Amino acid sequence: MLQIGILNVHLSFIRLLYVYSSESKMMEDYTFIDRLGHGSFGKVWKAKRNSDGKTLAIKEINYSSLGIKERKMFVNEVNILRKLHNPYIVRYYDHYINRSEKKIFLIMELCAGGDLQTFIRETRSKLTTIGEDQIWLTFSELALALKDCHYGPSKVLHRDIKPGNVFIDSEGHVKLGDFGLARCLNSTVDFATTCIGTPFYMSPEMNNGKYDEKSDIWALGCVVYEMAALRAPFQGFGIEDLKKHICKGDLQRFPDQYSDALWKIVSRMLDKDPAKRPTVLDILNYRNVALTVKMNKVRKELENVREKTADLMKKKQRLMRRGIRKNRIEM
């Protein structure tokens, strides 16, 4: 069975390289501006698409150095991102291959604001806090992303929701990314059965090798808790000690400056019994979340109206200038 699994990974990877990817002279299509850092599989670049000037992020991966696990994660991420189209999920555009250099280039949306982990760390170092309105906004946007994952056609479990995988765009809105560990469940499968993820955000059932959508809910609860407390909800002196505290549900309330409404929903999400945790639909129907989603929608509609009005004013000014020039010529 193990050999069959390895063969399937190889076949999926080869299919991705030779069937679904395009050979492209990358340096002609894109101008690399700056190196942003290292991602799961290699370098991440800020780049400009020459055809329209759009700024994007490009993951550069040397596929000759990828092991079986890394190849599986990469194929998984590409296949899942292809299917997910949500304003709060990092957008996948395309991928290209340079076979002579054995490199794959994954073209992604650029999130210029960095990631939530860095934002939390910087907030803590400045001895400040994150405003509750900002927490509700981030919470609601991540819930909308998770709704598409859990209730979309592919029924995707993210499996590694954490602040480092939540990215911030130039306007301060968040997007869920890094789907390398994600898994698609079909209608006949309710549980995945491998222990995978990041220890601080792993649910009690994941420590027993079992999880479903409620484990993503747990991880999202951990992220929201950390935005309020500026630390993960469960601590330990090592992995085993951390697991013990997670399984016992040793949860302390975050600072009193945050409302009971926020504490109520987060504590429900961090219930050690998965059956007692809300679904993402329950979360989106929670009064404060629903109100935040509605207000955000209204704000976006107003922004669109302002943009369209500004465009119309520019067109009007151009037409007026043309009219003035025409009158001068006729005179």
127 and 253 in a common domain? yes
| Cα(319)–Cα(331) distance, integer angstroms | 18
105 and 120 in a common domain? no
152 and 102 in a common domain? no
- Domain that includes residue 76, residue range: 24-109
Asked if pLDDT for residue 156 goes beyond 60, the answer is yes
Question: Is 162 labelled a binding residue?
Answer: no
| Cα(278)–Cα(266) distance, integer angstroms | 10
Does residue 35 belong to any structural domain of this protein? yes
| Cα(295)–Cα(187) distance, integer angstroms | 34
* Top-confidence residue, 32 or 317: 32
Does residue 7 belong to any structural domain of this protein? no
222 and 175 in a common domain? yes
- Residue 152's pLDDT is 85
* Top-confidence residue, 322 or 330: 322
The answer to whether 242 and 269 are in contact (CB under 8 A) is no
The answer to whether 174 and 115 are in contact (CB under 8 A) is no
Residue type, 143: A
173 and 83 in a common domain? no
Asked if pLDDT for residue 100 goes beyond 90, the answer is no
| Cα(120)–Cα(129) distance, integer angstroms | 9
From the candidates 115, 148, 160, 212, give the one annotated as an active-site residue. 160
Region 189-216: mean pLDDT is 74
Q: Residue 93 is part of a domain; what is its CATH number?
A: 3.30.200.20
Smallest Cα–Cα separation from 161: which of 108, 112, 197? 197
Does residue 322 belong to any structural domain of this protein? no
pLDDT digits (tens, 9 = 90+) for 218-276: 999 999 999 999 999 998 888 888 888 888 888 999 999 999 999 999 999 999 999 99
Asked if pLDDT for residue 9 goes beyond 70, the answer is no
Residue 52 among the catalytic residues: no
Q: How does residue 11 score in pLDDT terms, banded at 50, 70 and 90?
A: very low
- Which of 269, 285, 301 corresponds to the end of one domain? 285
Does residue 315 belong to any structural domain of this protein? no
Does residue 267 belong to any structural domain of this protein? yes
279 and 211 in a common domain? yes
pTM of the model: 0.80
The answer to whether 156 and 184 are in contact (CB under 8 A) is yes
- Residue 197's pLDDT is 59
- Residue 19's pLDDT is 46
- Which of 74, 109, 144 corresponds to the end of one domain? 109
- Residue 183's pLDDT is 61
- The count of domains in the chain is 2
Asked if pLDDT for residue 29 goes beyond 70, the answer is yes
28 and 135 in a common domain? no
Q: Residue 230 is part of a domain; what is its CATH number?
A: 1.10.510.10
Give all strands (DSSP E) within 65-200, no chain letters.
Answer: 92-98, 103-109, 156-157, 166-168, 174-176, 183-184
- Which of 62, 89, 109 corresponds to the end of one domain? 109
Smallest Cα–Cα separation from 280: which of 232, 231, 224? 224
Asked if pLDDT for residue 325 goes beyond 90, the answer is no
Asked if pLDDT for residue 78 goes beyond 90, the answer is no
Smallest Cα–Cα separation from 231: which of 209, 257, 201? 201
Region 180-202: mean pLDDT is 61
Does residue 179 belong to any structural domain of this protein? yes
124 and 64 in a common domain? no
242 and 184 in a common domain? yes
78 and 209 in a common domain? no
pLDDT digits (tens, 9 = 90+) for 56-71: 998 888 877 777 767 7
278 and 179 in a common domain? yes
Q: Which residue has the tokens 């979360």?
A: 283
Does residue 16 belong to any structural domain of this protein? no
58 and 176 in a common domain? no
Asked if pLDDT for residue 124 goes beyond 60, the answer is yes
Does residue 44 belong to any structural domain of this protein? yes
Asked if pLDDT for residue 186 goes beyond 90, the answer is no
Region 138-166: mean pLDDT is 92
Q: What percent of the chain has pLDDT over 70?
A: 81
